[in-house]
Structure 1
């Protein structure tokens, strides 16, 4: 797969980029085609220009390799604003300590942002992004890209995580959903990669100068060889995410910081795994299964990786990726490799497992542990039985539910059914689940981002880490299986300081899990009925209510929908449904019996003799 970027040509290549760096003055350039130019050279030049244009117009799907080469308009804007100081665009609203003690000032910043740090000798948090200026790996162009993307003030997790990673500390970072964790590790990651590339380039130049001092015409060839060696340097940073969609989203955020930085990145997928030389990639976004398999087969060399990020770390261990994660960690065997884990929730079991592979880690927690964002207005809605869910959702839409809306269901079959039901209602709806192809899932996400889709029905596939800044409402159509899933679902709205609403449907069968969700809501400042907090806690060994199966999303009665057979009954039985074939007295027959008259309180039922006497 071709790497399109505006870097110098590799040794032996005849790319137009190498000619552009040694371009003659305008007059000489105008005369050049007449003197030595041939039709073949002109054709090659036009081909190179068209390839560069195609690279600029390439879709941001995360499939192809992309680099930080800026478009012509971006380069012109950067040149026009070259004298402007990008650090002036960043805000610094933190209080100054009169004593001038840096430790006291760091504690004041942490307390004001509810940052809790545990570990030995934690570095002070950032006051502003302007403090990064002058640090190794940071330049004005990077700060300009940061300010141009709208990042003018660091969030709490970015303040502490950035300084910790830049100091080479291993990290356990826990922060609420939508708090900027992605940029919290991408910014120091990019600075680290640029610093390593600069060190390698300086070493190569020193080696070339020491080896080629005696040759007269060898300077140009040595420079070309040094640039080619730098472009073929090994992989330096890896970001592991549980899903492909999350990897593509991380790449989208990283691409905002890349223009003009000559840094090459890629998202590992089936397409890129087939024809990409990953030794020419600086930063790789990947999933554990494919990355672990390719590392074992020797198709990807991770021995030079200096920074390994595990995004949504609890989900990685929860999904059974422990063996693949161990393989990746073992393959990143460089002595200076730093490992960091980021997530919105971190159970104790996962934390203990993570600490077994980290060396003297810092634990950074923003706000309360395992809580939802306070910017989300959460409420519970009782729907009675399964049939009441669709009625409640239609009623919410009819009352003016504010789009875009993200609806979570338990299984992919239910996602298809709810998509079909809402589509017949005339709603601009789409769905995303594991049965879809990668192109269909990416199209569903893109249409939801640009506003073509008002309601997106999803499974927990995108409940982790996906950043939809404009989501106004989240509806938990099916009750979440755990408080962790609830926190991540609700976290798709109310991101980056915006407000949002989360509505959770519950029925009688969900009473055993209701207390945990109510406690999360109360911790976020929401009003919760007192009786919910007094419910008995569900025992772990107790079997939970089964997830509703296919065919359950409908407002039609079960008898009409299944042709006289109750939902869940065995095929081949009587129209009553639930019992064995040919056995009377089950199913609908029991439902048609008249209800018995209730016994009045304080009176005993009359006996047969008393009735005869009366």
Structure 2
């Protein structure tokens, strides 16, 4: 029974219990409601030992009464009935509970049954889902332990397990089965596939279970990382590659091209039971180290848990180990690399490319361009496997690149998603005339004032010198800004990219070194501070935003010197459906001749230095610098004269 003081506290609605007491009382009441036959004293003492399972730090008895769905009078009677039974304190050292533990004479069967009930109650009382509960209803306590929930629970669990396995092993029917289905799919996604014996595209990742017996671990990795639905380029390219066909694929930036070639590559290697240290069977070439790192990260995701496949990126450290014969290249199944580093290792005889079955060239328009064409050709000469299959991927594939691709491929299939040289339709494109170089900086500061400057933002410039100059200029605007260019070390570039992805940097200034492939999720705005030299470069630059179907914005500044360079960009905007992003007078601009196009691509426009400082201030700064330099020079001359005088005086004294 309660003392008079406790009765007064109850009548006022104040709590007479500490956190532990309320927790075990509430737990006990729930159990009494479920198991009326289990209210013996030993069982209650066992419940009391559940300590700190629920923290109702300032819960009053009135709140407890409202929370539980019992009648108030019955609740009070149940509480008093339990309290009247009492509890003995255990004052032995080393005991952490407030109450005496259950008797050791309890049978093993009772313990298991009570633990099962307690787990069930604890699961019900975990309102905020902050605790982990045992999913298994069986416990083991040594050799020879048996299942604890009896024959009925065992049968139920076995039935659930069998149902789960049956669902997993069930092969779903393909979503696309006929040529009519395939044509409807292609019309919907504006995709064109040309060539002989074109396979039917997949409609979902589950289609690969029945058609290609995809590795279950690869499929679960895709689902775990929220790759639920394949993109159009993935739907088309995966069955083509798994049917051992050469491929030329062109799709907009951010459309999932990386997974489009990684999934079939991994599946083909896993499907063949080849002994370890067989040699490199898959090779992926990319033009930049940043893109190679990103491809490797995606490759690690889909091969996670696949012990029978080894993948690697040919980093500086790995190349050094191979060249020093610390490790052998034959231990790897797939290698991701840039051209020059790969050629260096191959020339030293530390990597064998003769067993490669799949060669993938990412950003093919760049790797077949003048700067990389010789390197790409040298790699191809070392890939001597007669059964090799080649695939090239890019957001833009000019006709010249297609011609070169046909010369090294056998009856390739060609995929075009959307227009051949169009940007993603999720990007809002805009051309802004700034008059001169000073107008570009003023335009950026005007965007900041008007709220159009919404981070994260990437700004592209045509040279390293200009990127550095803009970086120092924007520092005065108190923006979280950093710069990436070819003069920075790979480690510095990786650190900047990491900080940009984490949100520590709001504005990233860069050259075309980051224009291709690198996936920055959530970039809101891309600014072309300098007009790119080709339509392909423009598409790749603005492709850093609007990725994965998300909306993005791209702004291109141009001056009087860019009157011819903006014509290819204008054509891309028209093909992408951005007819409101430019003035109508630009429609009347004449077509460029071949000579003019070549000149734009090969010759950079000479631009003035990036600065908003007036000429008068610049002259004053220069005068000040000249005065300081002259003062330092005079001091140096006076020091030399004094030394000479002291030296001559010493000679006279001698």
Same fold (TM over 0.5): yes
Q: Which of 470, 477, 494 is equivalent to 1:425?
A: 477
Matched residues in 1 for 2:270 and 2:371: separation? 34
1:44 alignment partner in structure 2: none
2:146 alignment partner in structure 1: none
Matched residues in 1 for 2:459 and 2:205: separation? 36
Matched, 1:154 2:154: no
Native 8 Å contact 2:171 2:210 kept in 1 = no
Matched residues in 2 for 1:86 and 1:382: separation? 59
2:310 alignment partner in structure 1: 264
Q: Which of 519, 523, 537 is equivalent to 2:575?
A: 523
1:88–1:395 distance in 2 versus 1, CA, 3 Å: farther
Matched, 1:437 2:489: yes
Matched, 1:188 2:264: yes
1:383 alignment partner in structure 2: 434
Deviations 1:144-175 (A, max 9, x none): 11111111111110001001000000000000
Residues 206-605 of structure 1 mapped to structure 2, 5 A cutoff: 230-262=275-307, 263-275=309-321, 276-400=327-451, 401-526=453-578, 527=580, 528-542=582-596, 543-544=599-600, 546-548=604-606, 552-558=609-615, 560-561=617-618
1:152–1:453 distance in 2 versus 1, CA, 3 Å: same
Larger radius of gyration: 2
Matched residues in 2 for 1:85 and 1:283: separation? 33
Q: Which moved more, 1:440-449 or 1:394-403?
A: 394-403
Deviations 1:472-506 (A, max 9, x none): 10000111111111111111100110000001101
1:154–1:492 distance in 2 versus 1, CA, 3 Å: same
Matched residues in 2 for 1:331 and 1:451: separation? 43
Using the TM superposition, give the Cα deviation of residue 89 of structure 1 relative to its aligned residue in structure 2, in angstroms: 13
Native 8 Å contact 2:286 2:361 kept in 1 = yes
1:133 alignment partner in structure 2: 209
Native 8 Å contact 1:91 1:153 kept in 2 = no
Native 8 Å contact 1:434 1:461 kept in 2 = yes
1:32 alignment partner in structure 2: none
Matched residues in 1 for 2:344 and 2:390: separation? 20
Using the TM superposition, give the Cα deviation of residue 138 of structure 1 relative to its aligned residue in structure 2, in angstroms: 2.0
The answer to which structure, 1 or 2, has the higher relative contact order (CA under 8 A, 6+ apart) is 1
Using the TM superposition, give the Cα deviation of residue 546 of structure 1 relative to its aligned residue in structure 2, in angstroms: 4.4
Moved segments of 4+, more than 3 Å: 25-28, 79-92, 134-137, 542-549, 562-565
Deviations 1:247-297 (A, max 9, x none): 000011112112211121111121110114211111110011111232233
2:60 alignment partner in structure 1: none
Q: Which has the larger share of helix?
A: 2
1:531–1:328 distance in 2 versus 1, CA, 3 Å: same
Deviations 1:316-349 (A, max 9, x none): 1225222221121121111221000000001111
Native 8 Å contact 1:314 1:347 kept in 2 = yes
Q: TM-score, normalised by structure 2?
A: 0.66
Native 8 Å contact 1:170 1:339 kept in 2 = yes
Native 8 Å contact 1:303 1:333 kept in 2 = yes
1:397–1:353 distance in 2 versus 1, CA, 3 Å: same
1:395–1:83 distance in 2 versus 1, CA, 3 Å: farther
Aligned to 1:133, the other structure's residue is in SS state helix
**When the two structures are aligned, how many residues end up with a matched partner?**
454
Native 8 Å contact 1:474 1:503 kept in 2 = yes
Matched residues in 2 for 1:89 and 1:310: separation? 33
Deviations 1:159-195 (A, max 9, x none): 0100100000000000011110001000001101112
Matched residues in 2 for 1:361 and 1:513: separation? 34
Matched residues in 1 for 2:261 and 2:595: separation? 38
Considering only aligned residues, what root-mean-square deviation do their CA atoms show, in Å? Answer: 2.7
Aligned to 1:518, the other structure's residue is in SS state helix
Deviations 1:67-125 (A, max 9, x none): xxxxxxxxxxxx99984957999999x6x7xxxx7222222222221110111111110
Aligned to 1:501, the other structure's residue is in SS state strand
Matched residues in 2 for 1:466 and 1:161: separation? 21
1:556–1:143 distance in 2 versus 1, CA, 3 Å: same
For structure 2, which runs of at least 5 residues remain unmatched after alignment? 1-139, 144-160, 322-326, 623-654
Using the TM superposition, give the Cα deviation of residue 515 of structure 1 relative to its aligned residue in structure 2, in angstroms: 2.2
1:81–1:255 distance in 2 versus 1, CA, 3 Å: farther
Matched residues in 2 for 1:408 and 1:504: separation? 10
2:54 alignment partner in structure 1: none
Deviations 1:30-71 (A, max 9, x none): xxxxxxxxxxxxxxxxxxxxxxxxxxxxxxxxxxxxxxxxxx
1:439–1:303 distance in 2 versus 1, CA, 3 Å: same
